[in-house]
């Protein structure tokens, strides 16, 4: 005849250990995922080569209309 305490102990251990193990598994997955995506996407993009910047020039275009607040 099984004792009530055996079932209660197994249930209480499962109710404590399953959430803790799930939390640890999610934390490990998150750290691995964050580390993998930070390698794929650098924090600061590279600047264009100096030839591209020089070719862009300093052409400043006239605004399309009057400045805000000015009526013509």
Predicted pLDDT of residue 10: 84
> Is pLDDT above 70 for 54?
yes
Which of the pair, 57 or 11, is modelled with greater confidence? 11
Decide: residue 45, CB within 10 A, 0-12 exposed, 13-18 middle, 19+ buried. Answer: exposed
pLDDT above 80: residue 26: yes
Mind giving me the DSSP string for 20-53? HHHHHHHHHHHHHHHHHHHHHS-SSPPPPPHHHH
29-to-17, 22, 35, 46, 71 alpha-carbon distances in Å: 18, 11, 10, 29, 60
Average pLDDT over residues 11-33: 92
Q: Pick 39 or 31 by higher pLDDT.
A: 31
Mean pLDDT of 25-41: 79
């Amino acid at each position: 005849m099984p004792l009530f305490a055996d079932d209660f102990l197994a249930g209480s251990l499962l109710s404590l250990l399953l959430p803790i193990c799930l939390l640890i598994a999610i934390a490990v997955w998150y750290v691995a995922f964050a580390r993998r995506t930070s390698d794929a996407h650098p924090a600061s993009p590279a600047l264009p080569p100096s030839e591209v910047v020089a070719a862009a020039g300093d052409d400043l275009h006239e605004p399309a209309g009057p400045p805000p607040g000015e009526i013509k």
